[in-house]
Amino acid sequence: MGIEDIKDFIVELEKHGELKRVKTEVDSDLEVAEIMRREMYSNGPAILFENVKGFDMPILGNAFGSMKRLEIGLEMTDFTEIGQRIADMTKMDVPSGLLNKIKKLPELTKMTASFPKAETSGPVTEITSSEASFDDIPILKSWPDDAGRFITLGLVATKHPETGVRNLGVYRMQIVDKTHALMHWQKHKRGAHHSDISKDKGEKIPTAIIIGGEPATIFSSIAPVPEGLDKYLFAGITRKEGIKTVKCKTIDLDVPANAEIVLEGYVDPADIRDEGPFGDHTGYYTPVEPYPTFTLTGIMRRKDPIYVTTVVGKPILEDAYIGKVIERSFLPLIQMFHPEVVDFSMPAAGWFQGFAIISIKKRYPGQAKKVMMGLWGMGQLSLTKMFVVVDEDINVHDINDVIWAITTRADAARDTTIIDNAPTDTLDPASPLVNLGSKMGIDATQKTREEGYMREIQQQVKVDEDTKNLVDSKWSSYGL
Report if residue 194 sits inside a domain. yes
Instruction: Please report the pLDDT score of residue 110 as a whole number.
Output: 57
Report if residue 50 sits inside a domain. no
Report if residue 458 sits inside a domain. no
Q: Are the C-beta atoms of 353 and 381 separated by less than 8 Å?
A: no
Q: Find, among 452, 448, 439, the residue nearest to 362 by Cα.
A: 448
Instruction: Please report the pLDDT score of residue 393 as a whole number.
Output: 95
Domain harbouring 407, CATH code: 3.40.1670.10
Strand partners, 206: 266
Rounded-to-integer distance, Cα 357 and Cα 315, Å: 18
275 and 371 in a single domain? The answer is no
Rounded-to-integer distance, Cα 305 and Cα 307, Å: 7
228 and 297 in a single domain? The answer is yes
22-60: b (≥16 Cβ within 10 Å) or e: beeebbbbebbbebbbebbeeebbbbbbeebeebebbbb
Mean pLDDT of the chain: 90
Report if residue 66 sits inside a domain. no
Q: Are the C-beta atoms of 71 and 322 separated by less than 8 Å?
A: no
Instruction: Please report the pLDDT score of residue 105 as a whole number.
Output: 45
Q: Which domain holds residue 236?
A: 79-309
201 and 247 in a single domain? The answer is yes
Residues 6 or more apart from 249 whose CB is under 8 A from it?
Answer: 128, 130, 264, 298, 300
101-105, 248-252, 373-377, 430-434: which range is least confident on average?
101-105
Report if residue 209 sits inside a domain. yes
Number of domains in the chain: 2
* CB neighbourhood size of 274 (10 A): 13
Rounded-to-integer distance, Cα 195 and Cα 205, Å: 6
Instruction: Please report the pLDDT score of residue 205 as a whole number.
Output: 94
160 and 303 in a single domain? The answer is yes
Strand, coil or helix: what is 157? strand
Report if residue 327 sits inside a domain. no
Task: Indicate the Cα dihedral angle 167, 169, 174, 179, nearest 10°.
Answer: 30
CA angle 31, 305, 266 (to 5 degrees): 90
* Predicted confidence (pLDDT) at residue 293 exceeds the cutoff of 50: yes
229 and 151 in a single domain? The answer is yes
Instruction: Please report the pLDDT score of residue 318 as a whole number.
Output: 92
Instruction: Please report the pLDDT score of residue 42 as a whole number.
Output: 95
* CB neighbourhood size of 412 (10 A): 8
Q: What is the pLDDT of residues 159-218, one digit of tens each?
A: 998 888 899 999 999 999 999 999 999 877 888 888 889 888 889 999 999 999 999 999
Q: Find, among 194, 369, 162, 171, the residue nearest to 269 by Cα.
A: 194
Instruction: Please report the pLDDT score of residue 126 as a whole number.
Output: 97
Q: Are the C-beta atoms of 71 and 321 separated by less than 8 Å?
A: no
447 and 377 in a single domain? The answer is yes
Question: For residues 32 and 316, which has the higher predicted lDDT (pLDDT)?
Answer: 32
* Predicted confidence (pLDDT) at residue 69 exceeds the cutoff of 60: yes
Q: What is the pLDDT of residues 363-401, one digit of tens each?
A: 999 999 999 999 998 878 888 999 999 999 999 999 999
139 and 272 in a single domain? The answer is yes
260 and 142 in a single domain? The answer is yes
Report if residue 439 sits inside a domain. yes
* Predicted confidence (pLDDT) at residue 140 exceeds the cutoff of 50: yes
The catalytic residues are 280
108-112, 150-154, 164-168, 307-311: which range is least confident on average?
108-112
Domain harbouring 107, CATH code: 2.30.110.10
Q: Find, among 236, 183, 177, 237, the residue nearest to 208 by Cα.
A: 183
Where residue 2 falls among pLDDT bands split at 50, 70, 90? Answer: confident
Instruction: Please report the pLDDT score of residue 128 as a whole number.
Output: 95
* Predicted confidence (pLDDT) at residue 434 exceeds the cutoff of 60: yes
265 and 135 in a single domain? The answer is yes
C-alpha to C-alpha distances, 241 to 110, 120, 231, nearest whole angstrom: 9, 19, 13
Rounded-to-integer distance, Cα 473 and Cα 331, Å: 37
In the Cβ-directed half-sphere of 194, how many Cα atoms lie within 13 Å? 27
DSSP 8-class letter at 26: B
Checking DSSP bridges between strand 127-129 and strand 254-256, what pairing results, if any?
A: unpaired
In percent, how much of the chain has pLDDT > 90? 67
90 and 205 in a single domain? The answer is yes
Report if residue 71 sits inside a domain. no
345 and 305 in a single domain? The answer is no
366 and 284 in a single domain? The answer is no
In percent, how much of the chain has pLDDT > 70? 95
Strand partners, 360: 341, 391
* Predicted confidence (pLDDT) at residue 414 exceeds the cutoff of 70: yes
Q: Are the C-beta atoms of 272 and 195 separated by less than 8 Å?
A: no
Strand partners, 22: 49
